[in-house]
Amino acid sequence: MDFLKLPTLEEIIANESGIYNDVIDQLQKFRYSYPVTPIKPRLAIKHTADEATRYSIDLKDYEREMEIYNAEKKEIIAHNNKVDKLIEDWVKEDTGLNDIPAQYRDKVYSLAYSHGHSGGHREIRNYLIDLVNIFN
């Protein structure tokens, strides 16, 4: 699958508008939706030989479609994980997390993530800002 080229963290910082929602929104546009799951054929309890034959053909088609679906989904998951990592790296840079002592970074990020992940990257960012300010 051909995906849009992701910008680097340096490119994001260089072109930053100063409004964090804009940066997150722009990066979210690089995410892809998952493909539609193929529908598995069904065979009625009371069926004819022709229906069973048709079911066999449909089932083989379904299995091929599932292979394609699983391959596409795997690629999309990997790509979307790269987008999320890029957003995470930008949030860490933007909030100043990378400026606090190294031994505290993972703990601070984990705390911000545990409190804010259900609200998305923006909420994690908000928690990080508060936590990083403790070190200033």
Do 13 and 93 touch, CB atoms closer than 8 A? yes
Q: Using CA atoms in the order 85, 87, 92, 98, what is the torsion angle rounded to 10 degrees?
A: 60
Instruction: Tell whether the model's pLDDT for residue 13 goes beyond 80.
Output: no
Do 67 and 37 touch, CB atoms closer than 8 A? no
Instruction: Tell whether the model's pLDDT for residue 109 goes beyond 80.
Output: yes
Residue of higher predicted confidence among 1 and 62: 62
Rounded Cα distance between 87 and 61, Å, is: 39
pLDDT of residue 126: 92
Do 9 and 93 touch, CB atoms closer than 8 A? yes
Query: Percentage of residues in the chain with pLDDT exceeding 90?
Result: 74
Instruction: Tell whether the model's pLDDT for residue 69 goes beyond 90.
Output: yes
The predicted model gives 88-95 an average pLDDT of 92
Supply the pTM of this predicted model: 0.81
